[in-house]
C-alpha cells in the first residue's frame, strides 16, 4: 500500500480485494500527517479516534461481504467552515476558536451515510475571505510543491492536504474561486458546482448567493464520485435543487465528448497573464483538440466589470452574515464591557481579523442609506449582464458552445507574504474564477502541467472548464478524457 498512489477508485478496489483495510489506511495517514503536516500546516484539528472507529465499521462490513459504497472508508479532509457534529468549527477565526459544531452539515450527513471517514478539519482564510490561506487566525498553510509559496485560498488547507497525500480527497467551499484557485496552485482537481446543486446547510456562511460546497480530489473521476454523493435537494436549504444526474456524470462516453464545442473568451487571455500560464493553456488546448473537440472564439464583454461587481455584492452579504457573531450566542466574548454595544464592539474587535473587518466595513458602507442604489443595486444589475453573457455564449440558437475554456489563475503560486500588504493584488488572483460564481455556473480546475518559474522550480498550473447550469457532466467528461491522455 502506497498512500501517494491512492485515489478514491484505487482505494475502493484495494478494499474489496482485501489488499488493505480501511483502518490500516486511516492509521497510516494519521502517522504520515503527524510527520508531514509539521511543514505544510494543512490541518487545524484531527479526529483520529472517531475516524478509526468509522474505518473499523467499514472493515466489518467488508469482512461480512456486505455491499459497500464507492466512498466507504475513504479518508477525507474537510474545510473548517463545514460543520461536523462535536468537532471544532473555527472558520479560521479567533471568534470561533472554542466553538464545536452542534450538528452535521448536510454534505457530512450524506457522506456519513455511505461510510466515508473524516480525518480532520483543514485550514482556511478567515471566514473563507482570501486567496492564499494567509488570512487564517491560526497558521499559514504552505504549498506542498514549494514551501515558500502559498497553496491558494480560501480552501488552501484542503487543497494542500490532497496535494501532499495527507488525504485521499477533500471538501472545500467556493465563493469566488476558493476551490478552483487553490486546486490550480496545488496541482489537484477542484470542482465548483452549479449554485443549488449541493446544500449549503451547515456551511458557515460568507456570501450566501455565491457560496457552494464542492470536492477537491486527485482525479476528475474522484471529483465526480464525491460530487454525486453530496448533490441533491435538501429541506434545510431552500436554494438547493433536485437536479437529476445520470450515469454520464461518472461514466462519460467519448463519442459524446467529441461532439462538443469549447468556447475560448478573448477577455480571459489578456496582457499580464504569466508566461508559464499562457504556455500551459496552449498545451491544454492542443491536448483537447487531439480528442477531436472543436474550439471557437467567443466574447464575454462584461467580464471586465466582474471584479468590481463581486467586491460590492460579496462584502454586502458578508456584512449581513457576520452580524450573528456578537459574543453572546457562541464564540469569543469580549472582556471588560460596560453595556451591550460595548460588548459587541469588544467581541468583534478581538475576534475578527484585518481582512474580515475590511470586508464587513466595505459591505456595511455599500448597503448604507444614500449608497445602496449607487453601489449595491447597480452591482446586482451588472451581475445580471455578466450572467446574460454566459447565457448568450451557451445559447444553441446562436451557434453557442457547450463548455468554456479559461485559465484558473493569472499566475502559478506566489510567495508567502508577497501580496498581503496589497489587498487589490490579492483580489486579482480570483479574476478568472469569480464571474462563474456571479452567474451560478459549474466550473472545474484541472492540472495542466508542471510550469517552471524564474527560479526553475516546478509549479502546477490549472485550466478551467465552465459548463452550462446543471451540466457538471460536460466539464467532468472532458476532464476525464483529458486525464487519459497523460
For the chain, what percent of residues have pLDDT higher than 70?
Answer: 98
pLDDT, average across residues 58-81 = 97
pLDDT, average across residues 397-421 = 94
- Say which of 155, 178, 184, 319 is annotated catalytic: 178
Domain with 272, as residue range(s), is: 256-308+373-484
Q: Are residues 157 and 293 in the same domain?
A: no
Q: Is the pLDDT of residue 304 over 90?
A: yes
Q: Are residues 244 and 295 in the same domain?
A: no
Distance between terminal CA atoms of the chain?
Answer: 23
Q: Are residues 213 and 276 in the same domain?
A: no
Q: Are residues 266 and 158 in the same domain?
A: no
pLDDT digits (tens, 9 = 90+) for 314-354: 999 999 999 999 888 877 887 877 788 888 888 898 899 99
pLDDT digits (tens, 9 = 90+) for 273-301: 999 999 999 999 999 999 999 999 999 99
Q: Is the pLDDT of residue 272 over 90?
A: no
Residue 367 lies in a domain: no
Residue 316 lies in a domain: no
Last residue of a domain, one of 201, 226, 249: 249
Half-sphere exposure of 24 (CA within 13 A, CB side): 11
Residue 337 lies in a domain: no
pLDDT for res 1: 58
Q: Are residues 281 and 234 in the same domain?
A: no
Q: Are residues 260 and 245 in the same domain?
A: no
Residue 323 lies in a domain: no
The question of whether 178 is a catalytic residue gets the answer yes
Is residue 272 left, alpha or beta, with left meaning phi > 0 and alpha meaning psi from -120 to 50?
left
pLDDT digits (tens, 9 = 90+) for 372-386: 999 999 999 999 999
Residue 430 lies in a domain: yes
- Residue 454: band (very low, low, confident or very high) from pLDDT cuts 50, 70, 90: very low
Tell me which residue of 77, 66, 237, 233 sits closest to 168, measured CA to CA: 77
Q: Are residues 175 and 261 in the same domain?
A: no
- Say which of 21, 79, 131, 429 is annotated catalytic: 79
Tell me which residue of 287, 300, 298, 278 sits closest to 478, measured CA to CA: 287
Q: Are residues 57 and 194 in the same domain?
A: yes
Length of the chain: 486
Last residue of a domain, one of 219, 249, 279: 249
pLDDT for res 466: 98
Q: Are residues 107 and 209 in the same domain?
A: yes
- Residue 449: band (very low, low, confident or very high) from pLDDT cuts 50, 70, 90: low
pLDDT for res 280: 94
What cell numbers appear for 457 in the block?
A: 522550480
**Mean pLDDT of the chain, nearest integer:** 94
pLDDT for res 338: 79
DSSP per residue, 246-306: -GGGTS--HHHHHT-EEEEEGGGS-TT--HHHHHHHHHHHHHHHTTT-EEEEE--GGGGGH
Answer with the residue of higher pLDDT: 270 or 324.
324
pLDDT digits (tens, 9 = 90+) for 205-216: 999 999 999 999
pLDDT digits (tens, 9 = 90+) for 193-204: 999 999 999 999
pLDDT for res 64: 96
pLDDT for res 486: 63
Residue 104 lies in a domain: yes
Number of domains in the chain: 2
pLDDT digits (tens, 9 = 90+) for 203-255: 999 999 999 999 999 999 999 999 999 999 999 999 999 988 989 999 999 99
Last residue of a domain, one of 208, 226, 249: 249
Q: For the domain that residue 289 is a member of, what is the CATH number?
A: 3.90.1300.10
Q: What is the 3-state secondary structure (H, E, C) of 73-137?
A: CCEEEEECCECCCCCECCCCCHHHCCCECCCCCHHHHHHHHCCCEEEEEECCCHHHCCCCCCCCC
Please tell me whether the overall predicted TM-score, pTM, comes out greater than 0.85 for this model.
yes
**Contact between 331 and 325 (Cβ < 8 Å):** yes
CA-atom Rg of the chain in angstroms: 21
pLDDT for res 455: 47
d(CA 442, CA 439): 9
Q: Is the pLDDT of residue 164 over 60?
A: yes
Q: Are residues 139 and 270 in the same domain?
A: no
Q: Are residues 176 and 79 in the same domain?
A: yes
Residue 348 lies in a domain: no
**Contact between 438 and 306 (Cβ < 8 Å):** yes
- Say which of 21, 109, 132, 154 is annotated catalytic: 154
pLDDT digits (tens, 9 = 90+) for 34-55: 999 999 999 999 999 999 999 9
**Contact between 174 and 436 (Cβ < 8 Å):** no
**Contact between 412 and 453 (Cβ < 8 Å):** yes
Residue 320 lies in a domain: no
DSSP per residue, 149-192: B---SSSHHHHHHHHTTSSSEEEEEESSSTTHHHHHHHTSEEEE
The question of whether 348 is a catalytic residue gets the answer no
Q: Are residues 70 and 200 in the same domain?
A: yes
DSSP per residue, 332-350: ---SS-SSHHHHHHHHHHH
d(CA 227, CA 248): 13
The question of whether 79 is a catalytic residue gets the answer yes
Amino acid at each position: 500500500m502506497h498512500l501517494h498512489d491512492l485515489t478514491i477508485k484505487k482505494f475502493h478496489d484495494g478494499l474489496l480485494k482485501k489488499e488493505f483495510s480501511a483502518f490500516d489506511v486511516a492509521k497510516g495517514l494519521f502517522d504520515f500527517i503527524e510527520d508531514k503536516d509539521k511543514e505544510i500546516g494543512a490541518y487545524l484539528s484531527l479526529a483520529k479516534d472517531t475516524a478509526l472507529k468509522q474505518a473499523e465499521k467499514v472493515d466489518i462490513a467488508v469482512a461480512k461481504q456486505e455491499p459497500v459504497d464507492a466512498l466507504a472508508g475513504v479518508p477525507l479532509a474537510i474545510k473548517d467552515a463545514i460543520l461536523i457534529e462535536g468537532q471544532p468549527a473555527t472558520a479560521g477565526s479567533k471568534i470561533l476558536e472554542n466553538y464545536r459544531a452542534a450538528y452535521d452539515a448536510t454534505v457530512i450527513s450524506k457522506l456519513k451515510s455511505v461510510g466515508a471517514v473524516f480525518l480532520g478539519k483543514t485550514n482556511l482564510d478567515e471566514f473563507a475571505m482570501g486567496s492564499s490561506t494567509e488570512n487564517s487566525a491560526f497558521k499559514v498553510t504552505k504549498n506542498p510543491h514549494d514551501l515558500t509559496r502559498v497553496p491558494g485560498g480560501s480552501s488552501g488547507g484542503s487543497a494542500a492536504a490532497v496535494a501532499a497525500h495527507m488525504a485521499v480527497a477533500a471538501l472545500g467551499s467556493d465563493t469566488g474561486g476558493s476551490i478552483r484557485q487553490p486546486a490550480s496552485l496545488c496541482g489537484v482537481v477542484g470542482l465548483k458546482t452549479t449554485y443549488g446543486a449541493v446544500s449549503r446547510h451547515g456551511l458557515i456562511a460568507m456570501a450566501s448567493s455565491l457560496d457552494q460546497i464542492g470536492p477537491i480530489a486527485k482525479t476528475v473521476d474522484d471529483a465526480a464520485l464525491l460530487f454525486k454523493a453530496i448533490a441533491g435537494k435538501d429541506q434545510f436549504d431552500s436554494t438547493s435543487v433536485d437536479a437529476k444526474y445520470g450515469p454520464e456524470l461518472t461514466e462519460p462516453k467519448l463519442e459524446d465528448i467529441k461532439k462538443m464545442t469549447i468556447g475560448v473568451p478573448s477577455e480571459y487571455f489578456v496582457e499580464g497573464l504569466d508566461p508559464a500560464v499562457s504556455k500551459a493553456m496552449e498545451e491544454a488546448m492542443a491536448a483537447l483538440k487531439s480528442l477531436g473537440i472543436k474550439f471557437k472564439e467567443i466574447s464575454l464583454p462584461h467580464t471586465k466589470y466582474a471584479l468590481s461587481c463581486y467586491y460590492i455584492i460579496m462584502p454586502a452579504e458578508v456584512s449581513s452574515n457576520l452580524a450573528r457573531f456578537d459574543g453572546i450566542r457562541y464564540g469569543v466574548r469580549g472582556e471588560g464591557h460596560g453595556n451591550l454595544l460595548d460588548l459587541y464592539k469588544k467581541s468583534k474587535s478581538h475576534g475578527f481579523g484585518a481582512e474580515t473587518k475590511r470586508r464587513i466595513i466595505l459591505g456595511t458602507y455599500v448597503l448604507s442609506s444614500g449608497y445602496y442604489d449607487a453601489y449595491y443595486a447597480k452591482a446586482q444589475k451588472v451581475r445580471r449582464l455578466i450572467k446574460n453573457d454566459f447565457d448568450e455564449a451557451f445559447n444553441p440558437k446562436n451557434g453557442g458552445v457547450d463548455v468554456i475554456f479559461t485559465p484558473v489563475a493569472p499566475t502559478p503560486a506566489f510567495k508567502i507574504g508577497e501580496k498581503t500588504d496589497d489587498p487589490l493584488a490579492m483580489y486579482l488572483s480570483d479574476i478568472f474564477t469569480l464571474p462563474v460564481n456571479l452567474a451560478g455556473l459549474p466550473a472545474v480546475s484541472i492540472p495542466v502541467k508542471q510550469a517552471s518559474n524564474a527560479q526553475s522550480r516546478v509549479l502546477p498550473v490549472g485550466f478551467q472548464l465552465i459548463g452550462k447550469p446543471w451540466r457538471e457532466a460536460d466539464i467532468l467528461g472532458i476532464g476525464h478524457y483529458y486525464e487519459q491522455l497523460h
